[in-house]
Amino acid sequence: MATARQYMILQHMKNSIYASRIGSGSKQKVPASWLSVLAGRPQPGKVAGCNGLAPLTTDYAATWTRRSYTRKAEVRPHQSFVVSHETVKAKATDKKRKLYTEVRDDTDMEQLTVQWENGQVQEYPYIWLRDNCRCEECFHQSAFSRSVSFPQLDVDIRPSQFRLSYDRQKIELQWEDGHNSSYDATWLYKYRFDQSSPDLTLDPKLHYWAAELQDTIKEYDLDELTKSDECLYDWILQMKIVGMALVKAGSTSEGQVIRIGNRVSFLRCTDYGYTSHVKAKYQDAVNIAFTNKIFPMHVDLVFLGRPPGANIIHCIEQAKGEGGENWFVDGFNMAEELRREDPEAFDILTNTELEFFDIGNDFYGKFHQRSRHPTISLDSRGRPDHINVSDHGRDPMLRIPARKIQPFYKALKAFSNKLYDPKNIFSYKLKEGDIMTFDNRRVIHGRRAFETTTSSSRHLETGYLEWDELDSRLRVLHKQLGYHNL
Amino acid sequence: MATARQYMILQHMKNSIYASRIGSGSKQKVPASWLSVLAGRPQPGKVAGCNGLAPLTTDYAATWTRRSYTRKAEVRPHQSFVVSHETVKAKATDKKRKLYTEVRDDTDMEQLTVQWENGQVQEYPYIWLRDNCRCEECFHQSAFSRSVSFPQLDVDIRPSQFRLSYDRQKIELQWEDGHNSSYDATWLYKYRFDQSSPDLTLDPKLHYWAAELQDTIKEYDLDELTKSDECLYDWILQMKIVGMALVKAGSTSEGQVIRIGNRVSFLRCTDYGYTSHVKAKYQDAVNIAFTNKIFPMHVDLVFLGRPPGANIIHCIEQAKGEGGENWFVDGFNMAEELRREDPEAFDILTNTELEFFDIGNDFYGKFHQRSRHPTISLDSRGRPDHINVSDHGRDPMLRIPARKIQPFYKALKAFSNKLYDPKNIFSYKLKEGDIMTFDNRRVIHGRRAFETTTSSSRHLETGYLEWDELDSRLRVLHKQLGYHNL
């Protein structure tokens, strides 16, 4: 933690923190979760260490180091390609308009080279400049979208002349065909190709966790979540960075899941409807969920081509006897751990497609779903993207040569062992009124077996949200709350 | 077409065909679309040529050859990995139970080797057999799912003894731990690893098309679609194989899109609600769709991480004057054409991620969507999977080095040129009451500019279905209509 910046917390607003950087004295307003994702709520006057998007209090930093998270963070690939605290800060404090210092033509390269006051230099190919002209003819202002489309675009077009405006805020450019374009220095600075800042929702810097989440999981009050935009923002960011948060509904009546869905935008519909009720029922159960047996570690609905993004589980009635705890494991953390410890197994699990299925009859009649996913799905940059684990919905079909079957099982066993290792499991027995919310493409969950008696049962209402909707709400609120320009 | 099998059509039922193969005399019932996808409805007594899943009438086969589709089909990669007509036929006619002829142990390889009556031989690693035991203890019968999960699974387990049953329908096997398993010959034959039959919904054999679709597009009557399961099955299969079909609603009242959604299961919800209304409106339009200008070629909602699967467009009122035709292009066909003609451009478009965005305020309040997709997205087998084209929603952000910008634009221009080439475009001016349905991840669509007058406007109601729901309905109906075992 030697390189961590330190901040003095000046004021702790409801869901935001106003902090001053020790050494430089620069001040900024940040969402509370950025200083408290893993550390609980910091107090004014307290000094907090900063580690990427989510700074840590110094108290927690010690724990962090002891548990070797820093080592993990070091070897995590693509670490630089994330929204970093530095980026956010630079944007938040650097509100004044940018100015150009120079623009010159590299005719041979068919590009302009631009320099700003801060010394940054960037090449802009002509074609990109023409394609992104923001004049009223080329860009529809109320639809906020490009009006010029590819048939009209000459990929070999060149400027006939260009110059900086006197105030150095604009490049004025005339094209060979007579069209005029103008490029604002602040606007253009945002688009520096592979030098551009990472994106808030597409490039989050995640916090991985294990069993210790039971001490640090953040709690939200559903009434506050419903009323306060800052609280809503904070909860979505928590879901995005940590992948889990506990919401206290203070109610055991049905409909709390829908309240959360409506607060974001809308719930994801499935063959089971908008929400479904999980009650113990062994005879004729159409799903293992509806029994009182152990429910092995899984993510929900992997038998769909596009399983739901986030899980919302409201505990209406909890089993009074022994058992019934939910287990949660950070699938991305486990995937990265496997990549480090057993790269061959990791490779097998990212490349071997399994088939999953679900056959039943529910809200919309009969269904027969079938999907194909690798156990660990990676995004285009090699980051874990989706985890697809479900023993109960896994089909016998494996379309690989027989000689690859045994190595595949060994790899899946290595991954599976991690999912059942107590040191990785956040175990929590939902209290009546609790709503557990988590990222269904990242967090693997299961349930201990439990006792049912005639006087005690177990009843959950569950539903799903999509990440498209959560991310959209996060972006809208981010702008509305004035954190920084997106 | 020299190798094409020929069939005599015996009986043409409502949506099925009973046909006899010329030469062998074998008979089978197949969905009408398999003999008529591109050829209109064949008549009894007519001879039809068979080309994969969707055979062609001989009349059409000539056209097909002349337009060089056979050449295209030859170079299409992974062609063998599809549901072929032969596979379906083999299953449909081979209803009798399979029998084993031999089972032997390859201890060194930790597998059993099995042979069936037809001479087929397959190795089965012990671990796969143990994992897929179908006894009541290991497999929950009513939930139809595996009860045994990975913690209980010993990946090094071996059988202590095994034998064939007297009737040769089962392998009985006892494991070292005393557990007994039994494997049915017909059941096991289905799971032959990389030798297994391709899957109905996951491995469809697609029919590519160009401008000629205007002569061959299939039409369905909405009332029949609502009543007849065979008609519904036929329409979904058409959407899957060809990617487009025209449904005649016979009504210009709102709510027809929802009728289709309910018939399958449920519509996909978006920021615009379950359905939305596209009316000409230039001032303050929040989307180019709502103007009367040309609407360039695009797929819908690519600014989402998971854009909708299928498009449903109901024409309530059509512009009376000049223009307003919809354009449709088979994006997968164009992608494969580009792969053949300009592999480098194809490579760039499959590897360069674009960013798309949409900002607005609609049914569920403010939204700010943002996504990242390559122009041509491939599945794990290298087949085109999703096309992501939308000039109007394409963000200036391109996170690649500046030197790669110009080659990227040239590649996108090469692809774009195909999308606007009349020989590739199925152009159709929707009639009032028409519902155009198409695969939104494959079919790229646009609209000619049109005239609006005070007495004539244009009004469409649109909605979306997901492929998970369409595929599920197809599988349910496939079984229900008795075509063959899935």
Tens-place pLDDT, residues B35-56: 433 334 445 555 454 333 333 2
**Residue B294 domain-assigned (yes or no):** yes
Contacts of A132 in chain B (CB under 8 A): 396
Instruction: Using an 8 Å CB-CB cutoff, list chain B residues near A424.
Output: none
Q: Which of A446-455, B368-377, B455-464 is the least confident region?
A: A446-455
Which of the four pLDDT bands, split at 50, 70 and 90, describes residue A451?
Answer: confident
Q: Which residue of B has its CA nearest to A307?
A: B468
Check residue A188 and give its pLDDT. Answer: 97
Identify the pLDDT of residue A335: 98
Q: Is B388 helix (H, G, I), strand (E, B) or coil?
A: coil
Which of B128, B367, B466 lies closest to A472 in CB terms?
B367
What value, to the nearest 5°, has the Cα angle with vertex B384 and ends B305 and B275?
45
Q: Is the pLDDT of residue A218 over 70?
A: yes
The token duo for A334 is 């486990």
Q: Which residue has the higher pLDDT, B352 or B31?
A: B352
Contacts A394 to B, Cβ<8 Å: 146
For residue B26, give the 3-state DSSP assignment: coil
Residues A117 and A89 in one domain: no
Query: A92 phi and psi, to 5 degrees?
Result: -65, -40
Nearest chain A alpha carbon to B194: A399
- Residues of B within 8 A of A479 (CB-CB) are 368
Last residue of a domain, one of B195, B225, B247: B195
Instruction: Provide, as residue numbers in chain B, all residues whose Cβ is less than 8 Å from the Cβ of A129.
Output: none
Strand ranges across the sheet with A426-428: A295-298, A443-447, A326-330, A426-428
**B117 phi/psi in degrees, rounded to 5:** -55, -35
- Of the candidates A149, A194, A406, which has its C-beta nearest B110's C-beta? A406
Q: Do B468 and A153 touch (CB under 8 A)?
A: no
Looking at chain A, which residue has its C-alpha nearest residue B363?
A265
Query: Which of A131, A149, A365 is the closest to B296 by Cβ?
Result: A149
Does residue A117 sit in the same domain as residue A264? no
- In the prediction, which pLDDT does B324 show? 86
Residue B275 pLDDT exceeds 80: yes
Q: Which of A140, A144, A196 sits opposite B397 (nearest CB)?
A: A196
Residues B293 and B385 in one domain: yes
pLDDT attached to residue B144: 81
pLDDT number for residue B62: 24
Residues of B in contact with A392 (CB under 8 A): 140, 143, 145-147, 149
Average pLDDT, chain A: 83
DSSP structure string for B204-233 = -------TTHHHH--EEEHHHHHH-HHHHH
pLDDT at B214: 93
Of B147, B269, B368, the CB nearest to A266: B269
Q: Does A140 sit within 8 Å of B392, measured CB to CB?
A: yes
State residue A63's pLDDT score: 26
Of the three residues B95, B119, B138, the one that is the final residue of a domain is B95
CA distance A325 to A458: 11
Across the interface, whether the CB atoms of A296 and B149 are under 8 A apart is answered: yes
Do the chains contact at A146 and B392, CB–CB below 8 Å?
yes
Asked if the structure places residue A204 within a domain, the reply is: no
Probe site for chain A from B146, B201, B421 (most A CB atoms < 10 A)? B146
| A31 band by pLDDT with thresholds 50, 70 and 90 | low
Bigger pLDDT: B213 or B42?
B213
User: How far B448 CA sits from the closest chain A CA (Å)?
Assistant: 13
Residues A429 and A469 in one domain: yes
Cβ contacts (< 8 Å) between B383 and chain A: which residues? none
- Give the whole-angstrom CA distance, residue B150 versus residue A420: 9
- CA angle, corner B109, sides to B106 and B111, nearest 5? 60
Inter-chain contact A372–B202, Cβ cutoff 8 Å? Answer: yes
Tell me the shortest Cα–Cα distance from A214 to chain B, in angstroms.
23
pLDDT at B443: 98
Q: Is there a domain that residue B109 lies in?
A: yes
Q: What is the DSSP letter of B14?
A: S
**Searching chain B, which residue's CA lies closest to the CA of residue A365?**
B265
Contacts of A147 in chain B (CB under 8 A): 288, 293, 392
CB atoms B123 and A402 under 8 Å: yes
Q: Tens digits of per-residue pLDDT, A123-181?
A: 999 999 999 999 999 998 877 888 888 888 999 999 999 999 999 999 999 999 999 99
- Candidates A370, A381, A486, partner chain B, best to mutate (most B CBs within 10 A): A370
A268 interaction partners in chain B (CB closer than 8 Å): 269
**What is the spatial distance between Cα B59 and Cα B65, in angstroms, rounded to a whole number?**
11
Q: Do A367 and B476 touch (CB under 8 A)?
A: yes
- Given A151, A297, A368, which is nearest B476 (Cβ)? A368
Closest approach of B299 to chain A, Cα-based (Å) = 14
Residue B13 predicted with pLDDT over 80 = no
**A90 and A123 both lie in a single domain:** no
pLDDT band per the 50, 70, 90 thresholds, residue A107:
confident
CA distance B485 to chain A (A): 13
Q: Which of A209-218, A277-286, B355-364, B438-447 has the lowest mean pLDDT?
A: A277-286
Residue A41 reports pLDDT greater than 60: no
As a dihedral over the C-alpha atoms of residue B217, residue B220, residue B222, residue B225, rounded to 10 degrees, the angle is -130
Residues A414 and A462 in one domain: yes
In this prediction, residue A43 carries a pLDDT of 52
The verdict on a CB contact (< 8 Å) between A368 and B291 is no
Mind telling me how many Å the CA of B81 is from chain A's nearest CA?
11
User: Do A472 and B285 lie within an 8 Å CB cutoff?
Assistant: no
| pLDDT greater than 80 at residue B147 | yes
Look at residue B75 in the predicted model and tell me its pLDDT: 27
Answer yes or no: is pLDDT of B88 > 70.
Answer: no
* Residue with more model confidence, B29 or B122: B122
Neighbours of A325 (CB within 10 A): 17
* Domain end among B55, B73, B95: B95
Residue A200 lies in a domain: no
Same domain, A54 and A120: no
Dump pLDDT digits (tens) for A456-482: 688 999 999 999 999 999 999 999 998
Q: What percent of chain B has pLDDT over 90?
A: 66
In a domain, B464, yes or no: yes
- CATH number, domain containing residue B253: 3.60.130.10
Nearest CA in chain B to A284: B142
What is the average pLDDT across B120-143?
Answer: 93
* Cβ neighbours of B140 in A, within 8 Å: 285, 288, 291, 392
Span A336-362, mean pLDDT? 97
Residue in B144, B145, B364 closest to A265 by CB: B364
Interface with chain B: mutation pick from A126, A399, A413, highest number of B CBs within 10 Å: A399
**Contact criterion met (CB < 8 Å) for A391 and B149:** yes
Tell me, yes or no, whether A159 and A246 share the same domain: no
Same-domain pairing of B184 and B218: no
User: What are the C-alpha distances in Å from B426 to residues B301, B381, B413?
Assistant: 21, 28, 20
Q: What percent of chain A has pLDDT over 90?
A: 66
Q: Are residues A473 and A456 in the same domain?
A: yes
pLDDT band at A291 (very low <50, low <70, confident <90, very high): low
> Tokens in use for A390?
């479900």
Question: Does the distance separating the beta carbons of A398 and B128 come in below 8 Å?
Answer: yes
Amino acid A62: pLDDT: 24
* Rounded mean pLDDT, B370-389: 96
Q: What is the mean pLDDT of residues B99-123?
A: 94
B297 contact residues in A (CB cutoff 8 A)? 149
- Whether residue A485 is contained in a domain is answered as no
Among candidates A193, A413, A472 on the partner chain, residue whose Cβ is nearest the Cβ of B150: A413
* Lowest-confidence pick of A418-432, B84-98, B222-236: B84-98
Residue B350 Cα, gap to closest chain A Cα (Å): 11
C-alpha distance from B45 to closest chain A C-alpha (Å): 36
Q: Which residue in A110, A473, A475 is closest to B370 by CB distance?
A: A475
Lowest mean pLDDT among A64-73, A348-357, A383-392, B269-278: A64-73
CB pairs under 8 A between A and B: 254
Same domain, B31 and B134: no
**Domain presence at residue A465:** yes
- Residue, of B70 and A291, whose pLDDT is higher: A291
Say yes or no to pLDDT of A214 above 60: yes
The more confidently predicted of residues B401 and B59 is: B401
Give the pLDDT of residue A280. Answer: 72
Q: What is the CATH number of the domain that holds A138?
A: 3.30.2020.30
* Contact list, A122 vs chain B (CB under 8 Å): 402
Compute the distance between CA of residue A27 and CA of residue A261 in angstroms, rounded to an integer: 35
Which residues does chain A have within 8 Å of residue B128's beta carbon, measured at their own beta carbons? 396, 398, 405, 409
Number of domains in chain B: 3
Measure A32 CA to nearest chain B CA, in Å. Answer: 22
- Taking CA–CA distances from B121, the nearest residue in chain A reads A402
Same domain, A413 and A277: yes
Chain mean pLDDT for chain B? 83
Flag whether B221 is in a domain: yes
**Three-class SS string for chain A?**
CCCCEEEEEEEECCCEEEEEECCCCCEEEEEHHHHHCCCCCCCCCCEEEECCCCCEEHHHHHHHHHCCHHHHHHHCCCCCCCCCHHHHHHHHHCCCCCCEEEEEEEHHHCEEEEEECCCCEEEEEHHHHHHCCCCCCCEECCCCEECCCHHHCCCCCCEEEEEECCCCCEEEEEECCCCEEEEEHHHHHHCCHHHCCCCCCCCCCCCCCCCCHHHHCCEEEHHHHHHCHHHHHHHHHHHHHCCEEEEECCCCCCCHHHHHHHHHCCCCCECCECEEEEECCCCCCCCHHHCCCCEEEECCCCCCCCCCCEEEEEEEECCCCCECCEEEEEHHHHHHHHHHHCHHHHHHHHHCEEEEEEEEEECCEEEEEEEEEECEEECCCCCEEEECCECCCECCCCCCCHHHHHHHHHHHHHHHHHHCCHHHCEEECCCCCEEEEEECCCEEEEECCECCECCECCEEEEEEECHHHHHHHHHHHHHHCCCCCC
What range does the domain containing A224 cover?
213-477
Mean pLDDT of A324-328: 93
Four-point Cα dihedral B383, B388, B389, B393, nearest 10? 180
Range scoring the smallest mean pLDDT among A31-40, A396-405, B53-62, B395-404? B53-62
Query: In this complex, which of B153, B266, B469 lies closest to A413 when CB atoms are compared?
Result: B153
